[in-house]
Amino acid sequence: MTLFAGDPTLGSLGETLIEQLEGNRGAALADIDWAPKLTRSCLPFVERQAARDFECGGTLIRKGDRIAIYLGAFGSDGSLHFGAGIHKCLGKALAEQLWSELRSSLSGRPGRMEVLSVAYREADFAFTMPIEIMTRVTR
């Protein structure tokens, strides 16, 4: 199966697929309780500007300071992957539709699927994403 979309969407789809398959190792595709939303992001962090002065872990952050929020520190809250308000990702609807189609397609197939290997794109400080996911399907 080949999917075409932008890097953030493809990376998040790939990371979520790997998490779902690895977390349900040995289960039939039809028996997996597929997550209704993307649970992983290929974006390691988002950068924002502090809207007001505040303290975080003993460090004073001043209004206007650039801050990086590491998404992995927040678990699997899918809303963090897409931001909100003026920072809301324009690709959110597409990413959710593609995930819905992918999980629907896989959950209707007989057999099992296991991840054999994953090749990741070289780190570029923007995305950490799989560029190839090798799987094996068995009955």
Q: Is the pLDDT of residue 73 over 80?
A: no
Give buried/exposed letters for 23-53 (b at 16+ CB in 10 A, else e).
ebeeeebeebebbebbbbbbbeebeeeeeee
- Output the six-digit token pair for 83: 């931001």
For residue range 46-60, what is the model confidence (pLDDT) as tens digits? 777 889 999 988 999
Neighbours of 95 (CB within 10 A): 24
Cα 6 from chain centroid? 13
The CATH homologous superfamily to which domain 7-138 belongs is: Cytochrome P450 (1.10.630.10)
pLDDT the model gives residue 61: 93
Angle made by CA atoms 108, 109, 114, in degrees to the nearest 5: 120
Interhelix angle for 7-23 vs 92-107, to 10°? 30
Is the separation of the CB atoms in 21 and 135 below 8 Å?
yes
Task: Give residue 130's identity as a one-letter amino acid code.
Answer: P
Q: Which residues pair with 112 in a beta bridge?
A: 28, 138
For residue range 34-49, what is the model confidence (pLDDT) as tens digits? 999 888 877 767 777 8
pLDDT the model gives residue 74: 56
| CA 73 – CA 63 distance, rounded (Å) | 23
For residue range 106-130, what is the model confidence (pLDDT) as tens digits? 998 889 999 999 998 886 666 778 8
pLDDT band at 81 (very low <50, low <70, confident <90, very high): low
